[in-house]
A and B are shown apart, each in its own frame.
Chain A
Amino acid sequence: MTNTRTPPKPTPETQHFWDGTKQNRLLLQRCSDCNHTYFPPRPFCPACASKKVVVVPASGKATLYSYVISQRPAPGMIPPFSIAVVTLEEGPRMMTNVVDCPQTPEALVLDMPLEVTFQPLNEDITLPLFQPAKGDVQ
């Protein structure tokens, strides 16, 4: 196993998302015609096919939709670690890891509030990870 996570390779259609995470911003897209907010990125709305879409910042707030705790070796990861899917406040879901939290069923509770945190992977790529929400996040 290599010491670093498997790096994503942006395409022209997703470059803005990875440019965003590099600046510690989580970016989604919203349709100007039907108001649908979506992820993963593409230059048209998956709900209505309109090309009138804009990039919008996400709040970074999310809840834990589901997860597994992997015991399997993976590049750049030390088992056990969570592979999680979170529901963003704006609606879309994304895969991530829940960090700064014991990697146990007791600590990882479905629907728990989370917030985004950014982890640089290399000079081009920063990954959006999530941690238990702090402060006044509900």
Chain B
Amino acid sequence: MKPGSIAIVGAAETTKMGVIPDVSQTQLHADAALNAMKDAGLKPSDIDGVACAGEFPVTLADYLGITPTWLDGTYVGGCSFMLHVRHAAAAIAAGYCKNVLITHGESGRSRLGYLGPSILPTSPYGQFEAPFGTSGPPTMFTLPVLRYMKTYGLTHEQLAMVSVVQREWAAKNPRASQKDPITVDDVLGSKMIAYPFRILQCCLVTDGGGALILTSADRAKDFPTKPVYILGTGESSESPIISQMRDYTSSRAFRVSGGNAFKSAGITHKDVDHAMFYDAFAHLPIFGLEDLGFVPRGEAGAFIAARNTAPGGMLPVNTNGGGLSYMHSGMYGMYALQESVRQMRGIAPAQVKNAKISVCHGVGGMFSASGTVIMSNQLP
């Protein structure tokens, strides 16, 4: 894909966000999809490409009254939507479809029609991790951190600052689930979940969804919205189980995905005005900053603690409040993409002034997969 040849012309989240006990998961997808179509001025009959995760694209296409010529059900966890954007861009460039709808809806808290990941006792996870008392991501995704701390000297206080800074961003966002200010002491005094992680270093569990509509840059100028151009993308994967991640101080999937996104976009780090690093847990922005090359290895904790990613800092990160304070329904990548689009459109609640390039980086599973999308409000 040539940088800037594909654009996001529709973007919206579900009408409600947070705790939504009266809407099923399928309808959360549809609600977000209808909102995004309204945003782009399109009807279901205008959509010819459908991608989603957590639901089957067949189900969604039929539910919405769409006749697709292209479908993508890539499901690699929370970054699936970054991969959908990448695949959709390629499909539009190949002429397989013109207007692609990417949806997400997840009743992560209320569990109304929630599919969730299936756990087979024969799978690598079922055989070689579940017997040892793992119980959800807080007991697995967090495993690398003590090794990272020993290797690079990251302190508990620096790790706590990730949560503190993101709460500052959330305070600026009316739709954020958690807006009250917190301190390092609050974080380190909060309920222990899985040492060294406390509850304020773990993501929220909420309901919600979001949808994107992509088309070619040529057609984008006919839409009512400000086009957000795709400059570059990347994707990769490592192990399905955290115990087999090669290096607990760096994610191979992050390095490959992020590296290819930068290479395909043809930009350097100093061109970046805004970044989203999928933060299911507080260490993820640290890994993201380092593995994507924003900060030298081992220095991201200090970089965040020095408020470089906070409001007023040199690299605003997770400006919606992130999975730690904004929302996290289970697969967060769609919400990170939505915030990058808002920043590029200039309509984010905590808008970064004159931001022109946003890097949106996602993770799937427990460092199992990764997807990166670099977007801009200007053609390269």
Contact = CB atoms under 8 A, between A and B. Distances in A.
B133 A66 contact: no
A73 B193 CA distance: 10
A37 interface: no
A95 interface: yes
A67 interface: yes
Interface residues of A, number: 37
B138 interface: yes
Contacts of B120: 9
Nearest to A14: B127
B87 to A, nearest CB: 27
A72 B127 contact: no
Contacts of B241: 95
A23 interface: no
A9 B126 contact: yes
Interface in B136-165: 136, 138-140, 142-147, 150
A68 B132 contact: no
Interface residues of B, number: 37
A121 interface: yes
B134 A74 contact: yes
B142 A9 contact: no
A96 B242 CA distance: 12
Interface stretch (B194-202, B225-233, B345-353): B194-202
A76 interface: yes
Interface of B: 120-122, 124, 126-136, 138-140, 142-147, 150, 191-197, 241-244, 248
Given A68-B142, A85-B243, A85-B248, 20 more contacts: A7-B121, A8-B126, A9-B121, A9-B122, A11-B127, A66-B146, A68-B197, A70-B139, A70-B194, A73-B135, A74-B133, A74-B134, A81-B133, A83-B132, A83-B133, A93-B243, A95-B132, A95-B241, A96-B132, A121-B131
Pairs A-B, 5 closest by C-beta atoms: A9-B121, A95-B243, A8-B127, A69-B195, A77-B133
